[in-house]
Amino acid sequence: MNWTVRVLVSTAFTLSVLCSAMSAAQAHGVRSMITHGSQAWVAVAVFSDGTPMSYTRVTVVGPDATMPFQKGFSDKNGKFAFVPDRPGKWTIIFQDPMGHRSQASTIISMSQGSKEAVVKAPVSSDYTLLPTGIKALIGLCFIMLLALLARTFRHRH
């Protein structure tokens, strides 16, 4: 086995172990969720280790709207309160200049004669689709594939 193949194989193995360990340890991803009180709805964003996304820029987009319904910053505990004025799908985006972004959507319906909102669909978050470890593994496989393709291509030319 030549040096190139040994490096690629040992890299893939080491990083697979590392990334499996990381899926159980602290990761740099973020997630957010929406809950509701009697008047206002509260969106919360936390990093995957539970640390709140404090003082982060928040954008609330109402149903079928292109312009934001509300903009502001989360509080110390990563929470942001808003009062929806119509039923439909509401989206809340947490985003800071460091590059962390989390988006959650929920369907809100107004009960008769009341401003109280009721959850009709489970809260969704784009960070819960795949575990961080799996995403990391996909990325590492892609890098290895790219390296092998580059070597093959260069050998032919």
Partner 1 sequence: MHISEGILSPEILLAGAAGTAIGVTMGLRSLKNGDIPKVALLTSAFFVASLIHVPIGPSSSHLVLNGLMGIILGWEAFPAIFVGLALQAILFQFGGLTTLGINTFNMAAPAIVAHYLARPFLKQGGLGPVGLLACAVAGGGSIMLSALLVSLSLALSGEGLEAVGRLIFIVHIPVAIIEALIATFTISFLLRIRPDMIIPGWTD
Q: Using the rule CB under 8 A, is 21 a contact of partner 1?
A: no
Binding residue for partner 1, selected from 41, 69, 90, 127, defined by CB under 8 A:
127
Are the C-beta atoms of 148 and 5 separated by less than 8 Å? no
Q: Using the rule CB under 8 A, is 98 a contact of partner 1?
A: yes
- Tell me which amino acid residue 70 is: Q
Closest CB 13 distance from partner 1, rounded Å: 11
Closest CB 28 distance from partner 1, rounded Å: 4
Please give the Cα distance from 74 to 61 (Å, whole number): 15
Angle formed at CA 49 by CA 45 and CA 55, multiple of 5 degrees? 35
How many residues does the structure list for the chain? Answer: 157
Residues of this chain, 29-48, that bind partner 1 according to CB under 8 A = 29, 47-48
Binding residue for partner 1, selected from 17, 86, 126, 128, defined by CB under 8 A:
126
Which range touches partner 1 (CB under 8 A), out of 34-42, 81-89, 108-116, 125-133? 125-133
Closest CB 61 distance from partner 1, rounded Å: 13
Phi, psi (deg, nearest 5) at residue 44: -125, 135
Name the residue with tokens 């509401």: 90
